[in-house]
Structure formats: structure tokens, C-alpha cells
Amino acid sequence: MIPQTTETTPKEVVSAALFVEPELIKRIIAAELPKNLQDAALYAVSGGGKRVRPALTLLCCEAVGGSWDEAMAAAVAVEYIHCFSLVHDDLPCIDDDNLRRGKATLHIHTNEAMAILAGDLLLPLAMQQISNGTLEPTLEAQLCHTLSKATVEMVRGQVYDTLGGLPEHLNDLEGLESIHRNKTGSLIHGACKMGALCGNATDDQLQAIDTFGHCIGLMFQIVDDLIDLHSPAHHVGKATGKDAAAGKTTYPGVLGVEKSKAAIEKLKKQAKTALKTLGKTGKTLQTFNVWMACRTR
Amino acid sequence: MIPQTTETTPKEVVSAALFVEPELIKRIIAAELPKNLQDAALYAVSGGGKRVRPALTLLCCEAVGGSWDEAMAAAVAVEYIHCFSLVHDDLPCIDDDNLRRGKATLHIHTNEAMAILAGDLLLPLAMQQISNGTLEPTLEAQLCHTLSKATVEMVRGQVYDTLGGLPEHLNDLEGLESIHRNKTGSLIHGACKMGALCGNATDDQLQAIDTFGHCIGLMFQIVDDLIDLHSPAHHVGKATGKDAAAGKTTYPGVLGVEKSKAAIEKLKKQAKTALKTLGKTGKTLQTFNVWMACRTR
């Protein structure tokens, strides 16, 4: 279960991802589920991947003066939500994907009913992690609020992306930004904010992480769009060129490659400026920011 | 949007159900969803039904000295979870139901993708209702914990019922009880407990409601099994005899009709005894208890 990393992944991100990894497993086993459901849930969270979201939760906690341990429950919760969304998105009636990170998707590995129910499980299991009385009640309430809001927005983004429903007054770029901000950006932003809350951030720190999270969240998806367009599949580890084949609107599709890259640069600068508030403790997030903007898989 | 009731439904239950009804709608509209998703969510929560769970939340709050208003967010949250579970259970790969309370199920009314995503929406939307800062933080954390735990158990029960996975050492009756306690009982118990928490219950009151909730939760499903066996479909408002046709184990199937009725009587007595702790304010729940044990639809 070693997270998928490359030589370019900053070592702090790799360390944070590795720190979360065993907890993702342990907390599913602790839930005392039926064996078939436990196996499905373990399969759903064991696909590897970069673990960007839980790593961000730990690193944002650290960046405001907290410890990784303090943010563990929130990090696990965020990753469970991400994994639930992947399982449901892969279903035949939604994105109809048979492979995810080189492995059979859950409904192929088991069956559709189990994939739906394992997804349905991971969502409340995520909420349980951050409301089981191990954290301070006010913090638990804030975390539940942040995560449930982000999850609602993620589902909204998935609906926009799959079934339409964007407000008609939006132009192509605004529509695309709305899809990305909801579908991908909200949970990444939520991951950052939850980390900051766990680290008992001051208002200024919270504001800085808030801006950083919004920038990184949108940037993540624009970079993904460029990767899908350009990189050979064996480098990325999943099918590429899929967006264009599916007729999906993407940043390079709407803005062109150069303007997409400029949009990434702009978000990187905004994030960098916001992080200055954090001073020295923001250094790892600065590294993260640079990495995120130039990653190629 | 008038809840489905009969001449036998106690007027307090009807009043509580009617009190919740408009909030179920208002809070979806307040979420500012895409029009297609909003329509699907509204359809999912507008099927009528007895609204047993949210009514219990209000009545249990009242029974420990609180007001219906104090328990509204929790009541709505419980019903959103119930509605999400119905939408996903009805899907072709799970129970494959085309009708629910005489109306087309959501995946028939829209499509499977929308039914999955609308269910995925209602779950975090439920959690948002009880963590948005309008209640006291400690209460919000307790409610989130109670509801997420109940939802995990509900999914576990659905897996037992649909895909198996019961521990092998259980005999038929123990297995059946485990299915019912998880699939149906947990959320009904959660509904009661959340109401008591909203009413700021004492430990003794909480204990009474806890026992009441467990009894009512199991009783609800045994009564349902008997209704499925005996009542003509036009009286119940849905297909009956379906359990037997599907080869599902039921209480009358395992215990016979008379012993099933005896089990209901036993649970009714246990609930009645527990409610004595509440004194006069427990009167409505006593009425509820009697109604629940003898309802025929």
C-alpha cells in the first residue's frame, strides 16, 4: 500500500501520505463491518494514488503550528470522501470506467450493488471519524460542517460534469471553472481548511489557508486537464486523451494550452502571496504549491 | 405534500409529520443546487410516507422537555438519510423497484446516474443541517456522531439483506434480528436519540429514549414483515408478498405468525416500561408505541 509517487513529489508530501496510509486501513477494520463490505471498503481506499488531499490536511495543520497527529482523523475523513466519489464516479451509468490506477474498479472487482453500498458506507464513515468525541466538540462541529459542505459541492460538480445543469448565463470558461471548483476544488479546499482548523489556526492563518486551498484546488484540475492532453498514458498511469474523446470541456479546450498555463501561473502566484502570512511554517506548502503547478502525472 | 396517514395514525404523529414537511423542501431549495439536481432531490423527499423518523425526532425532543423547533434540523437530517437510502435501494442493481408509494422511483423518473448522485447529495446535505453552526457546538458534534453511526449501520444492514455477509455463528433468528436492527432499527433509534439530545435530555431520560428507540426500531420491521405477509396491496399502498417471492427471510418466515406477534408484544412492553421514566411528558410516545405495534400499513 505505498502511495504512488514520483521522483518529483516533494519528500514532505510523500512522508505525509505515508503517515496517513495505515490509518486508512485501520479505521475501516475498526468499524467492524461485514467481511464482504470491509473487503470492498479496503479495496476502495487501497488504490494508491498520491494522497494529495490527506497530505494537504496534515501539512496545513503543521503550517499553522499543529502536529500531524492532531489532523489525522480529518485527513482520513477527507480521503474516504475522495475514495467514495471515485467508486461512484466509475459506475457504468456515470463514467463507466473499468480501470483506476491500473486496477479493476470496485464494481468490476465485486459488483455494482457492492460498489454503490461501499461508497454509501465511506461517506458516513468519514463523518464518524471527525465526530466520535476524540476531538474538542467545537472542532468536531466545524470539521463536520466543512466536510459535508465540500461533499455537497463535489456532488454538485459531478452533476454539472456528467448531467449538465450549469446556470445558463455562464460563458464557457465560467462554466468550466464552476465545474472544476465544485467537482475537484471544493474537497481540496476543504482538506486544507480542515487541517488548519485541527491546528487551531488564527483568523489570519485560516484566511491564508483558505486562499491557498482555493488556488490549489482549481490549479489541480487545470494541471490534470493539461496532463490528459499531453502525457503518454504509461507515464500518467491511466488512460489519457479521454477528456477530448468524451467531448468534455477542458481548460486547454476552452483557453488553449498557453493561456491554461498562464492561469496556473496566476493561481500559483496568488497561493504564494497568501502563504507569506504564515512565515517560516508555510515553507512546505510553498514547496507543495510549486510542485502542484508543474507536476506531469 | 401531505404525509400519507390513516385514520389510525395518532394525531400527534400527524401533526409532527406535517410540521417537518415544508422544511424538507425549504432546506433543499436553500442549498442552491443545479436545477436538475434540485428537482431530483425534491422528488426524492416528496414521496409522502408516514414520516415516522422525523416525527419521532420531534416527539422525543418534546418528551424530554424540548420543543419541536429545537429538533427541526435533526428531524430533517434523519429524513434526508432515509430518503437517500430508499433512492439507492430502489436502483436496478439492488432491489430493482420501479414504484415507491405508487410513484415512479427516482431512477425511473430521471435516470440511474441522477438517482445515484441525488442519493450522494442527500447524505452530506443531512450532515450539513446539523453542523451549520445554528445549534450549540457540543450538540452538533453529538448529532453528527449519532447520525453518521446510524447511517453506517443502515448500510451494513442493507449489505446483509442484499449481499449477505452475516457472521456464520448466528442462527436464523439472530441473523434476521441483526439485519433488521441494522437496516431499519439503527436509523429509527438514531432519530429518537437525536431528538432527546436536541431536548437536552438528562442521562435518565436519554437512557429511556435509548431503550424506546431500540424497541421501536426492531418492532417497526417485524410489523412490516407481518404487513407484507397479510395485507392486501391496495391497503398498504405498495406491492405485498414481495418478501416471500424474493426468498427473503422474515420474522413470520422464521418464527411463524404467532411468535412474531408475541415478539412485537414483548418489545411494546419493554418500550412502555422504559417510557415510565419520562412521566407525563412521555405520554405521546406511549401512544406512538401502541400505534406502532398494531399498525396495518
> Which chain A residues are closer than 8 Å to B116 by Cβ?
88, 91, 93-94, 116
Nearest-CA residue of chain B relative to A115? B93
pLDDT > 60? residue B237: no
Dist CA B106 CA A199 (whole Å) = 42
pLDDT > 50? residue B2: no
Band (B244; pLDDT cuts 50, 70, 90): low
Residue A244, pLDDT score: 61
**Cell numbers 457492492 label which residue?**
A114
Percentage above 70 pLDDT, chain A: 92
Nearest-CA residue of chain A relative to B179? A34
Phi and psi, residue A16, nearest 5°: -65, -45
Percentage above 70 pLDDT, chain B: 92
Which residues, including other chains, have CB under 8 Å from residue A107's CB and lie 6 or more apart?
A87, A90, A91, A92, A114, A115
Q: CB of B25 within 8 A of CB of B1?
A: yes
Residue B48, pLDDT score: 76
Nearest-CA residue of chain A relative to B95? A113
Q: Hey, is A130 helix, strand or coil?
A: coil
pLDDT > 90? residue B218: yes
How many contacts, defined by CB atoms under 8 Å, are there between A and B?
Answer: 178
> Which chain B residues are closer than 8 Å to A140 by Cβ?
137, 140-141, 144-145
Q: CB of B94 within 8 A of CB of B86?
A: no
State mean pLDDT over A135-146: 98
Q: What is the pLDDT of residues B179-188, one digit of tens each?
A: 999 999 999 9
pLDDT > 70? residue B53: yes
State mean pLDDT over B211-232: 90
Nearest-CA residue of chain B relative to A34? B165
Look at B156 and A119 and tell me if their CB atoms are within 8 Å: no
Look at A120 and B124 and tell me if their CB atoms are within 8 Å: no
Query: Got the DSSP string for chain B?
Result: -PPP--TTS-HHHHHHHHHHHHHHHHHHHTT---HHHHHHHHHHH-S----HHHHHHHHHHHHTT--TGGGHHHHHHHHHHHHHHHHHHTSTTTT--SEETTEE-HHHHS-HHHHHHHHHHHHHHHHHHTSSSSS-HHHHHHHHHHHHHHHHHHHHHHHHHHH----TT--HHHHHHHHHIIIIIHHHHHHHHHHHHHTT--HHHHHHHHHHHHHHHHHHHHHHHHHHHHS-HHHHTS--SHHHHTT---HHHHH-HHHHHHHHHHHHHHHHHHHGGGGGGGHHHHHHHHHHHH---
pLDDT > 60? residue B238: no
Band (B242; pLDDT cuts 50, 70, 90): low
Dist CA A154 CA A167 (whole Å) = 17
Closest by alpha carbon to A7, among A234, A291, A228, A225?
Answer: A291
User: Cell numbers at residue B242, please?
Assistant: 414481495
pLDDT > 50? residue A79: yes
Look at A137 and B137 and tell me if their CB atoms are within 8 Å: yes
Q: What is the pLDDT of residues A30-42, one digit of tens each?
A: 999 999 999 999 9
- State how far residue A80 is from chain B, nearest Cα, in angstroms: 13
> Which chain B residues are closer than 8 Å to A31 by Cβ?
152
Percentage above 90 pLDDT, chain B: 85
pLDDT > 70? residue A3: no
Phi and psi, residue A104, nearest 5°: -60, 140
Helix (H) or strand (E) holding A260: helix A257-275
| Average pLDDT of chain B, as a whole number | 92
Nearest to A156 among B34, B137, B159 (CB): B34
Closest by alpha carbon to A88, among A66, A120, A52, A56?
Answer: A120
Q: CB of A288 within 8 A of CB of A56?
A: yes
Q: What is the pLDDT of residues B83-134, one digit of tens each?
A: 999 999 999 999 999 999 889 999 999 999 999 999 999 999 999 999 999 9
User: Maximum distance among all alpha carbons in chain B?
Assistant: 51
Residue B243, pLDDT score: 64
Nearest-CA residue of chain A relative to B149? A128
State mean pLDDT over B260-279: 96
Number of other residues whose CB lies within 10 A of the CB of residue B12:
18
Dist CA B88 CA A192 (whole Å) = 31
Q: CB of B190 within 8 A of CB of B150?
A: yes
Residue B241, pLDDT score: 61
Q: Does domain A11-294 have CATH number 1.10.600.10?
A: yes
Residue B246, pLDDT score: 64
**Cell numbers 437525536 label which residue?**
B194
Domain ranges, ordered by start, for chain A = 11-294
pLDDT > 80? residue B4: no
ipTM of the complex: 0.94
The 10 Å CB-count burial string (b at 16+, else e) for A121-159 is bbbbbbbbbbbeeebebebbbbbbbbbbbbbbbbbbbbb
> Which chain B residues are closer than 8 Å to A128 by Cβ?
145, 148-149, 152
Rounded to 10°, the helix A35-45/A72-89 angle is: 100
Helix (H) or strand (E) holding A100: strand A99-100
Least confident of A7-16, A75-84, B251-260: A7-16
State mean pLDDT over A150-158: 97
pLDDT > 70? residue B206: yes
Closest by alpha carbon to A61, among A71, A53, A51, A52?
Answer: A71
**Which amino acid belongs to residue A286?**
Q
User: Cell numbers at residue B89, please?
Assistant: 435501494
The 10 Å CB-count burial string (b at 16+, else e) for B110-148 is bebbbbbbbbbbbbbbbbbbbbeeebebebbbbbbbbbb
User: Cell numbers at residue A113, please?
Assistant: 450493488
Number of other residues whose CB lies within 10 A of the CB of residue A164:
11
pLDDT > 50? residue B5: no
- State how far residue B187 is from chain A, nearest Cα, in angstroms: 13
- State how far residue A272 is from chain B, nearest Cα, in angstroms: 30
Residue B47, pLDDT score: 81
Band (A247; pLDDT cuts 50, 70, 90): low
Residue B233, pLDDT score: 57
Residue A1, pLDDT score: 42
> Which chain A residues are closer than 8 Å to B112 by Cβ?
93
Residue B153, pLDDT score: 98
Cα dist from B202 to B75, B92, B150, B207, B279, whole Å:
20, 45, 21, 9, 13
Look at A125 and B152 and tell me if their CB atoms are within 8 Å: yes
Least confident of A186-190, A227-231, B223-227: A227-231
Dist CA A59 CA A50 (whole Å) = 14
Look at A116 and B94 and tell me if their CB atoms are within 8 Å: yes
Look at A127 and B148 and tell me if their CB atoms are within 8 Å: yes
Q: What is the pLDDT of residues A156-212, one digit of tens each?
A: 999 999 999 999 999 999 999 999 999 999 999 999 999 999 999 999 999 999 999
| Average pLDDT of chain A, as a whole number | 92
Dist CA B208 CA B243 (whole Å) = 33
Residue A295, pLDDT score: 83
pLDDT > 50? residue A5: no
pTM passes above 0.90? yes
Helix (H) or strand (E) holding A28: helix A11-29
State mean pLDDT over A2-24: 82
Residue B239, pLDDT score: 53
Nearest to A36 among B112, B138, B165 (CB): B165
